[in-house]
Structure 1
């Protein structure tokens, strides 16, 4: 049996917590008075600190402890969450990420960030004073509790394995000191002799006399990750010195019943498991919103699985689908009824397994969208532009492989919209627009595709400047006529940029080239729409999956091809009397709509005799439709997509290949390319 690295498990948990922390801080900037956001942000910090100490990331635990101590002033209402504070807190979050990902390296700047955090909080504090160090130990008699405060005695002994897992008792005591004035006493009654002592066992117990209003909830937070295995009691001290209440409060019941019903219980990092990729289920929540009852919380409905294991499972399912297709073909050629029954049953099971496996790979695109809020926040600050960032369609699901490869293209598109698209506040006001610009990121299902759009309300694309740059680069002849849509596609050419100067953000003409290459590699397309003075929209159209699809198998001459079934609208018979080369009249009347059609025999250069009764398969991509003329429609099948080699990357009519039941290979048609090609093919015929 193999065991995963517990440090990697912590890192993955921490990445999710840091993402939650970042989103919480960004939400808090928009709604600084929301106590739920403050509490959820504070819980994320507390969980990172506790789990960091548990897994031996002491530098992380120490830094987050100081971060948490400073940010606690916001939690207590003694300071407000200003944009300046959020900016420093985001820098602190980035520093925590460095400490976690590169624990063996020295990362400077942590003290400066904490100093800036304390100074920023002090500047917004009603008292203008932040406690920078825990209160020193002092005799209990020196602390005079106010009428609203009381005296409490806390006794605790850590679990036997606490030191092994990196728990530092001194950090726990520092947290208790931060609650209020206290005296601390070590309990040494259980320390054995030196001949039998184990340095990894925490023999010391601790007694803390604390002055505080009601510290039970705060104490519960301090020992959040240790409660189940430790001895802990919290006892109120009566007015007479030395007199203690008779009934101690045990560890599982530290908080009052009312508080326990309202306080969330942040999830501990899972035991050493695989590196994460979310299987499709409800995403694991690290912390519940205030008011969620622990007893009412449903059991975890998700688990972590290695990405490699998911890919391997998908490969196995693909091989099973191919084997099932071969068995079905053999059964159809046989007269054995039992064999046909088994083949039908296996087909049903493999189809269900395929759908389930595909569902596991599907991930809500909101997991990707949330990353860009920080990007827009930083761009807004760096460029001095006030920007509203709106996302919709976060529940739209896409194959995890697509999600991973879409991050860079969307970064380039959003940066381009913010830097080039949105005007400065002065120019917007002069044009009658609000000073605040808007960038929208949306996702929606569009048939067999997912359409992801980045839209801004800026100045729009400048056709004259794009054309001039294209002519200068030799991409377009000076007197050439070109449609607007084709002109907009020029911006995706390598090295193309209309920026007048190179900045740290743009101007070198490499970003949009990356976008185009990546989307082409995903068998997708890019639509560009713009209105001068009103803004632009870039829409990425992508297939739902790259693994297994339902396909329609057709024959053209002696070759067999697969058309993605989700792109097929209908099939009709090619009317008799249509000339083989109609030159601009390659249209069919489909219920009152003219649809151009392509004879695939001509496109592929097939020389075999044509069938007398040819069929037309109507396919769509986005808003376009085209008819594909084939010799025969063989039937539907489950298609396992195999990527073509780099030697075939220039062949745009095919998106991949699949293995048929008889072991032969059928190429998979790229319907989006054929739809675009069909329109151009008809235009060429008209011009001839």
Structure 2
């Protein structure tokens, strides 16, 4: 009796596996591209590329994603050829592989959105180009350093292994053969081959581990580990509990020599490639992000229930009931929820380095057919950001990088005339030191932005400062490109970048110097899900605002307030209040939100920093600090400057989450305030 197999049940697992391997593919493509730029092979990266592409092909065949199978089959053939050549790959091959990987990524995303039904066929032209490229074998230098290794070890090496060891000699790096002999004494000391591998991996790069028979080994078996390292021989001997006699250099002086073993004889099979891969020792579990979203949803319910309990406890206390024990339980519950919040938030974090690692590939694709050379530097450190934020900011960063390549960086001839290096520089640096906000700097050393050209294109007056210049280049439809290209000229993008930052509760700023370059600062919150908020009341209505946006809370002294005369240009009338030796604008929050006069003068003010300036918002009463799950206002019709979302404080009614920083920027741009 036949059984109908619903392949759709496997799609969730397929997507997680495929995305993980695509991440590995992108990381190794970057490594291969960097090696190619320095005119040297990267055997290990090419081997990992082959393994990942082969796995994606198998996974796709299992769920019936035939277009992906077709593309990965052609990619696999090219990568197998490169692996046979010791990791050598041409610029043309690498560009085709990039195109193939992008095509695979697009189809994996399509499956994620609409299942197999929405899967588009494999591009015919791409398949033809990949097939045609398979006959081109990368060239290899005739002269290479000779490896001094025992014959049985030589035979165990693949072309990729050998190329890795040879390249180490070319780069003046030390390659050694380390012998480890298991014994009862070593076992008693907890030293086995697994422990030795871990120790040596911390001292260098393990190329190969080969077991062999050994008459002098206590167990009759020893392990030969081939290692590229900078560590001294004494330290290596200590790691294997051996002597200097167990450490041997494997490099002989450079000389023209044929390969020690024909490449075909050492060619690895697909099974050998998979077997040679060593899994990470770090224990990880892949989790569908939708499950994390569900956990977050349940956590938000716990927060709301805690708020309700606090309200009930407050009412009981008002009636004279002793609630000391209940308050102690609530305090402990609050601490537990805070720890749970931290754990869930950390589970949702993704490393910025992983998010940004594709940018060099993006730049390589843009510059392939241009007369520009671009170096990309990424400094992300250990910075992390919530998955929801990462998904929104990555397209914005890609657009800023594309703009830098297309508009900012000069071609090689222009740079020579300007006295600059031929290769342009783009750097992406991350700063999450505040723990609350992530600051991304996208900087280039190009021609800078010409305010006069922007003014002509926009039909606006000449920008007097960089804030006005940013506003002009972010106008929808504006483009300073003289011609339409595949990457720019449509006037779409900068307005979306700025809007993305603002919708996340962040900001975009600009710094440019003619002839020297431009930098954009993209500031976004590390997480937009659970945040610490300050709750307050304005004319009887409760609002909350993220604690990170509030610089200071002050008492309003009516004697220190100066009224500003109203003019016909003013939509709202601020006051000025003396604060720390200077006058800052003061707005009654109720008047700003409702466009009328507050019935009573506010008693407290929240001071919000605006770069070097500041603005204060008057409120009636502070209610306290608490955690809140913020629901973004995704409906375009509900997007109002100064309002970033809503939350539930336990009373069953939605409470508006105010973005006082954005609201302050809007108000400070009014003529009467900036005068």
TM-score over 0.5 for the alignment? yes
Residue 310 (1) aligns with residue 292 (2) = yes
1:161 paired residue number: none
In structure 1, list runs of 5 or more residues that go unmatched: 128-146, 155-175, 180-233, 237-244, 248-252, 263-286
After superposition, the Cα gap between the structure-2 partners of 1:148 and 1:89, relative to the gap in structure 1 and judged at 3 Å, is farther
Any conservation in 1 of the 2:82–2:89 contact (CA below 8 Å)? Answer: no
Q: Secondary structure at the match of 1:432?
A: coil
1:428 paired residue number: 415
Any conservation in 2 of the 1:618–1:628 contact (CA below 8 Å)? Answer: yes
2:511 paired residue number: 529
Q: Secondary structure at the match of 1:498?
A: coil
In structure 2, list runs of 5 or more residues that go unmatched: 1-5, 63-68, 144-149, 162-209, 229-271, 566-572
1:454 paired residue number: 442
The CA deviation at 1:522 is 2.1
The CA deviation at 1:462 is 1.1
* Distance in 1, Cα, partners of 2:561 & 2:324: 47
After superposition, the Cα gap between the structure-2 partners of 1:351 and 1:260, relative to the gap in structure 1 and judged at 3 Å, is same
What TM-score, normalized to structure 1?
0.68
Among 119, 124, 128, which residue is 2:136 paired with? 119
Q: Which runs of 4+ in 1 moved over 6 A?
A: 33-36, 98-104, 149-152, 290-294
Show CA shifts across 1:337-358 (max 9, x none): 3433332232222222222222
User: In terms of mean alpha carbon deviation, does 57-66 or 381-390 score higher?
Assistant: 57-66
1:90 paired residue number: 98
Any conservation in 2 of the 1:332–1:340 contact (CA below 8 Å)? Answer: no
1:674 paired residue number: 663
1:43 paired residue number: 48
Any conservation in 1 of the 2:633–2:639 contact (CA below 8 Å)? Answer: no
After superposition, the Cα gap between the structure-2 partners of 1:446 and 1:614, relative to the gap in structure 1 and judged at 3 Å, is farther
1:375 paired residue number: 362
Aligned pairs for 1:63-102 (under 5 A) are 63=74, 66-75=77-86, 80-91=88-99, 93-94=101-102
**Which protein shows a greater Rg?**
1
After superposition, the Cα gap between the structure-2 partners of 1:551 and 1:53, relative to the gap in structure 1 and judged at 3 Å, is closer
2:647 paired residue number: 658
Structure with greater helix share of residues: 2
After superposition, the Cα gap between the structure-2 partners of 1:568 and 1:514, relative to the gap in structure 1 and judged at 3 Å, is closer
Aligned pairs for 1:135-174 (under 5 A) are none
Any conservation in 1 of the 2:507–2:524 contact (CA below 8 Å)? Answer: yes
* Distance in 2, Cα, partners of 1:686 & 1:60: 58
Show CA shifts across 1:382-440 (max 9, x none): 32210011111252221111111222222221111110111111111111211111111
Any conservation in 2 of the 1:499–1:507 contact (CA below 8 Å)? Answer: yes
Show CA shifts across 1:322-375 (max 9, x none): 110110121122223343333223222222222222222222222220121210
Q: Secondary structure at the match of 2:78?
A: helix
* Distance in 1, Cα, partners of 2:559 & 2:645: 34
1:31 paired residue number: 35
Show CA shifts across 1:203-231 (max 9, x none): xxxxxxxxxxxxxxxxxxxxxxxxxxxxx
After superposition, the Cα gap between the structure-2 partners of 1:408 and 1:685, relative to the gap in structure 1 and judged at 3 Å, is closer
1:199 paired residue number: none
* Distance in 2, Cα, partners of 1:4 & 1:407: 29
* Distance in 2, Cα, partners of 1:573 & 1:235: 76
Q: Secondary structure at the match of 2:136?
A: helix
1:342 paired residue number: 329
- Tell me how many residue pairs correspond in the alignment: 538
After superposition, the Cα gap between the structure-2 partners of 1:560 and 1:499, relative to the gap in structure 1 and judged at 3 Å, is same
1:610 paired residue number: 600
Any conservation in 1 of the 2:28–2:45 contact (CA below 8 Å)? Answer: yes
